[in-house]
Amino acid sequence: MYFDSHAHLGDIKFKDDQAQTIQRALDAGISLTLNPGADMESSAKAMKLAAQYDHIYAAVGIHPHDVKDMKAGDLDQLEAWTKDPKVMAIGEIGLDYHYNFSPKEDQLKWFQAQLELAHRLGMPVIIHDREAHGDVFDIIEKTKVAETGCVMHCFSGSVEMAREYVKRGIYISLAGPVTFHNARKTREVAADIPLEWLMIETDCPYLAPVPYRGKRNEPAYVIKVAEAIAAAKQIPLEDVAHTTAENAKRLFRI
């Protein structure tokens, strides 16, 4: 059994065949999925979907792209939503200096505020870090969220960085890029980091793994991510499936 730890099932790209996509994942053995929010609307949608399906869980949070529209009251709403029994984490939250769709000051302010909220509530967090490795690391340290649980989603940093996170009890989640031809650095992370600290995800509908690269991604394809990790570590696929699922269950307390 596989656990897709990060799937945006409420995305517009699934609007015509969401139920079929969910069924295909179940048929392929992906028996647990976590669907994170990215803004207030998608967080509310993630909770709704989680209420419909036993095996789908939700996280609520505001992605760095969208924090420019965030208001102080949104934090109270996020906190209220965490009382829902299917909301297992705050996420996805973080910093994105690649696109900078929100001003950097807004990103820093709201990232820290959401981390502080998670820490106060004792909830794990799902972190998005794109070209902001140093600042993300510093804020994670400062807010001590490793104490309540943390995963670096779609990790794209170096082996050295991954080791620093693992040393602090933070999980590393790998996505489709680990299957890409040019992703030598990410395969090094897959080979180096102990399986006990790895999780797998699709981040669908984005980042489809080889051989689906460029197409719409979906949870059923998370097996390709697991296969790439198994190949990098030269261990059975079954071990990757089992241990990464146990890791996600432990982090999200499922």
Binding residues vs Ni ion (CB under 5 A): 203
Q: How far is the CB of 65 from Ni ion (least distance, A)?
A: 10
Smallest gap from Cβ 59 to Ni ion, in A, equals: 10
**Residue sitting closest to Ni ion (CB):** 203
Q: Closest approach of Cβ 108 to Ni ion, in Å?
A: 20
Closer to Ni ion by CB, 96 or 203: give it: 203
**42 vs 230, beta carbon nearer Ni ion:** 42
As measured in angstroms, the least distance from the Cβ of 101 to Ni ion is: 14
Q: 72 burial class (0-12, 13-18, 19+ CB within 10 angstroms)?
A: exposed
Nearer to Ni ion, 66 or 203 (CB): 203
| Minimum distance, C-beta of residue 64 to Ni ion, in the bound complex (Å) | 11
* Nearest residue (CB) to Ni ion, 205 versus 230: 205
The residue among 124 and 233 lying less far from Ni ion, judged by its C-beta, is 124
